[in-house]
Every structure is written in C-alpha cells, then in structure tokens.
Amino acid sequence: MSSYDYDLFVIGGGSGGVRGARVAASLGKKVAIAEEYRYGGTCVIRGCVPKKLFVYASQFHEHFEDAAGFGWTVGESSFDWKKLVAAKDVEIARLEGLYKKGLAGANAEILETRAELVDAHTVRLLKSGQTVTAKTILIATGGRPNPHAALPGHELCISSNEAFHLEELPKSIVISGGGYIAVEFANIFHGLGVETTLIYRGAEILSRFDEDLRRGLHEAMAAKGIRILCHDTLQKVSKGEDGLILETLNNGTLQADVVMLALGRDPNTEGLGLEAAGVAVDERGAVIVDEYSRTNVENIYALGDVTNRVQLTPVAIHEAMCFIETEYKNNPTRPDYELIPTAVFSQPEIGTVGLSEEEAGKRYSELEVYRAQFRPLKATLSGRAERMIMKLIVDAASRKVVGAHILGHDAGEMAQLLGVTLKAGCTKDDFDRTMALHPTAAEELVTMYAPSYRIRDGKRI
C-alpha cells in the first residue's frame, strides 16, 4: 500500500493533462486531476476548437458571393455575432462535459480548483486549502497570452482569450503579431466584416513557414482587403473619443475599436510552487524537462505548452502518451517531433509538413523543388481571383520528399494525409507512381513530373 494519497496527481485539465490522467486511471492507478478554470484547457475552451468554429463562420460571405457564379441568387444575408458566440459556447460546454465524462469513466478524481506544489510530493488545493500527496506529479498547466506589459496602454487591449467573448463585433480591429494566431484572427474578423489591420515587426508574416506560402498568403489577404503592416510595431495605445488611438513606429497614428495582442504565449508557471518543489525553469519560465518529459525532480514530469517545446494540441497529447509508456508501462518513450503536420486556418489556408525550402536548403546539398500555382476549378465559375500553391521539396540524392507545402482550400486536410506519406519516407517516385484522383486540387501533388527549379548548396540554380 502506497504511503501517498495518489499514484498520480495532474495539475491542469487541458489536452495533455486530461489525456495523462485518463489513461493512467484506466490502467488502475489512483489519479486526481485539478483544473482551475474549465476542463478541456486552451484547445477546447479558447483555442483550436472555438477558433475553427469562428473560421467557418467567417467563410460564409465568400460562399454567398461564389454561389452567384453557379446560378444561385442568394437573398440578403446578415450576421449575428451574439448568436455565433452563444452557439459556440453550447458546443464548448458539450465538449467540456465529454472531457469530464472520460475522466470520470476511467475513475480519475476530478477537482475543480487551482493546485500549487508545496514540495516534490505535496500539492495544495487552493479552493479547500487542503494538501494532498502523490507519488508522481504531472505538470500540464499550459500557457497564456503574453500581455506585452511594456506597451503603454496594453491593459486596453484584448488577447485571443477575450476575442472569443466580445460583447459586440467591433467595426475595426488592429491585431499585433505575425504568428498563426494573429493571422487566423485577422482572417476571421475580416471575414465577419470587420475592418482589419495586422501589424507585425518582422519582414513577412508567419516566420518559419515556407517563404513562398508566406508571400502568397500575404498577397491573398491584402487582395481581400486586410491591411498588413510589416516592419512595424505598436508604441502606445490610448483611449480616444471614438475608440482607441494607436501610435505605431512607422505608420503614424491608427484608430480602432479593438486592439488584439497576439505576441506569443507564456508558460503558466507563476505561483505554481515550482521553487518549493525544486523544479527548474528556463529564462522564459518554461519547465525544463529531459527527452522523456521528466523535470530535474525525479518524480515530477511536465508536458505540453508549459514546457515550451512545440505548442500544439496533438503534441501535448503525444507527450502524455509517451509519459504513460515511460512511467507506467516500463517502456521509456521519447516524444517524436519529426514531421509534425501543421495548418494555418487562414483564408486561403496553409497546410504544411516537413522542411521549408529555406530549411531544406541548409540541410541537403541538392534539392529538387516541384511547384504548381493554379486557379482551382471552383474559382473558374465563382470568378474569385484566387490561386493555389503546391510545393514538394525533394532531396535529390535520396529522392525523399522532405517537405510538402500547400496554400489553398483544404490545405490542412491535405497536410494531415501528406504527413503519413512523409513519415513513411515516401520518395518522389512513389508520388509519381500514385494515380491522380481527378478532378481534385490534390492531384497536382502527383502530377508535377519535372522539377520547377533546383537548389544547390542553398542557392537556386
């Protein structure tokens, strides 16, 4: 009989924590999990899921416009922001219920409280003040939006958290940031009819993605009417007579109803008692872990966004499954970060897996780049001036496809499947051998027979 109250105590009921708690409990371990806000965490409550619902909502006006080219006459349409928020909230509550049901079904104890470490085996439950002990502790507290405290007037701005619950849809918004969250929300608000400006200090939005797609998306967003100001930052935000006044470094004064900061996310480690437990953090406050997600304290693990490795839901879940193998199945398992498919749910969408042309150029001495840019079939009748881009980056020596990048409709769906082929180590010859599925956009991926250009020693030839 263990001298601890629990075999496992999980702090944080998000993607990683819930998976770790549920699976450990289903293995017969005595498990408790504490969540200070809502079960489901960032992904379900104020991240991936509500965002994707908003993306769908924001696409309808283009669907209505496109319909005319196919013979439809669409009546007058209008949009009700409050209805969307309410419908989204119903779905989120349903998912939250499913998360709890899964935990309860596995016999994990569900605690609705903030939890903080007292020492390496003891946790304080803030709601009751009670302390409990556990043999193993899993920190899965995620992250929160960086508030950019150095910006005068930052307290007048919102983050993605508040964007999901705005009382009214603003007439205008300025979004500061160039990462996927900033870009996705710029498209969402623009699609819902909000005058949208994106301001980003870098040379081009979406650093780390393939440059071709970054440029292509920038152009497509600008053509739709989203104002994108690169090489610029907000200097000050203040209240004006009619909305907010923004001073920028290079574009003078702007005005907007709402300013949203999307400038990265900080790990949720403040006041968590890590010092008391002896758990080390890095300069950004992220919990330092080894390749098995173990902290410097033998019985304490950490995973997901709080460790600042790859901040994505499937990665947090994968890390949790590796933790289960390592801790409870006597099968030490390292998370695998190779070839993670990702999407940006912009309009048009980006779907990508593997190396960008720029990264691949640094790793391989010779590359073949297969690139197609074309007007999708649907756009012919709709009249929409949109172009899809598809790119395969191939290591000339091994013929392996080391990167696949798509800009256009359903790019995320395609990237998920391309992820399987790249993970399996498929070569360009395997792509060539695959029969095209006609008429689809994806058939381009298996019909690009000749390289568009080559890269040798990082240079295009």
Ligand X SMILES: Cc1cc2nc3c(=O)[nH]c(=O)nc-3n(C[C@H](O)[C@H](O)[C@H](O)COP(=O)(O)OP(=O)(O)OC[C@H]3O[C@@H](n4cnc5c(N)ncnc54)[C@H](O)[C@@H]3O)c2cc1C
Relative to beta strand 109-111, strand 195-199 is: unpaired
The binding track of 64-83 with respect to ligand X, each residue x by CB under 6 A or -, is --------------------
Name which of 377, 353, 345 is nearest 426 in CA terms.
353
Rounded least distance, CB 271 to ligand X, Å: 8
Rounded least distance, CB 302 to ligand X, Å: 9
Residue 17 contacts ligand X per CB under 6 A: yes
Residue 176 contacts ligand X per CB under 6 A: no
Residue 35 contacts ligand X per CB under 6 A: yes
Rounded least distance, CB 221 to ligand X, Å: 18
Burial 134-172 (b: 16+ CB within 10 A, else e): bbbbbbbbbbbbbebeebebbeebbbbeebbebeebbeb
Give the residue with the Cβ less far from ligand X, 148 or 428: 148
CA dist 220 and 379 (Å) reads 14
Give the angle subtended at the CA of 164 by the CAs of 159 and 166, to the nearest 5°.
Answer: 85
Give the residue with the Cβ less far from ligand X, 114 or 428: 114
Residue 412 contacts ligand X per CB under 6 A: no
68 known member of a binding site: no
Amino acid letter, residue 3: S
Amino acid letter, residue 433: R
CB atoms under 10 Å from CB of 218, counted, come to 21
62 known member of a binding site: no
Residue 93 contacts ligand X per CB under 6 A: no
Stretch that binds ligand X, among 91-99, 308-316, 328-336, 360-368 (CB under 6 A): 308-316
Q: 438 catalytic, yes or no?
A: yes
Residue 274 contacts ligand X per CB under 6 A: no
Residue 51 contacts ligand X per CB under 6 A: yes
For ligand X, how many residues bind (rule: CB under 6 A)?
Answer: 35
* Residue 203 vs residues 76, 228, 232, 355: alpha-carbon distances, Å: 40, 11, 9, 20
Give the residue with the Cβ less far from ligand X, 20 or 361: 20
Give the residue with the Cβ less far from ligand X, 65 or 410: 410
Place of tokens 């903080």: 116
Residue 414 contacts ligand X per CB under 6 A: no
CA dist 391 and 344 (Å) reads 16
Residue 22 contacts ligand X per CB under 6 A: no
Residue 142 contacts ligand X per CB under 6 A: yes
Contact 388, 374 (CB under 8 A): yes
Residue 382 contacts ligand X per CB under 6 A: no
Stretch that binds ligand X, among 112-120, 227-235, 287-295, 423-431 (CB under 6 A): 112-120
Residues in Cβ contact with 446 at an 8 Å cutoff, skipping those fewer than 6 apart: 431, 432, 434, 435, 436
Residue 48 contacts ligand X per CB under 6 A: yes
Rounded least distance, CB 373 to ligand X, Å: 26
Which of 21, 41, 183, 259 binds ligand X (CB under 6 A)? It is 41
**Active-site residue among 148, 405, 409, 438?**
438
Give the residue with the Cβ less far from ligand X, 181 or 192: 181
Q: Is the peptide bond before 439 cis (omega within 30 degrees of 0)?
A: yes
CA dist 431 and 222 (Å) reads 34
CA dist 207 and 391 (Å) reads 17
Residue 43 contacts ligand X per CB under 6 A: yes
Residue 25 contacts ligand X per CB under 6 A: no
Residue 16 contacts ligand X per CB under 6 A: yes
Contact 34, 123 (CB under 8 A): yes
Rounded least distance, CB 20 to ligand X, Å: 9
Total residue length of the chain: 461
Residue 351 contacts ligand X per CB under 6 A: no
End-to-end Cα spacing for the chain: 69
CA dist 437 and 444 (Å) reads 9
Rounded least distance, CB 315 to ligand X, Å: 7
CA dist 290 and 302 (Å) reads 10
Residue 13 contacts ligand X per CB under 6 A: yes
Residue 304 contacts ligand X per CB under 6 A: yes
301 known member of a binding site: no
Rounded least distance, CB 421 to ligand X, Å: 20
In 102-242, DSSP assigns E strands to 109-111, 115-119, 122-125, 131-139, 143-145, 172-176, 195-199, 227-229, 234-240
Query: DSSP 3-state assignment of 382?
Result: helix
Which residues are at the interface with ligand X (CB under 6 A)? 11-17, 34-37, 41-43, 47-48, 51, 114-116, 140-142, 160, 181, 268, 272, 304-306, 311-314, 316
Residue ranges for the known binding site are 52, 177-184, 264, 305
**Catalytic annotation, residues:** 438
The binding site for NAD(+) comprises 177-184, 264, 305
Binding residues for FAD: 52
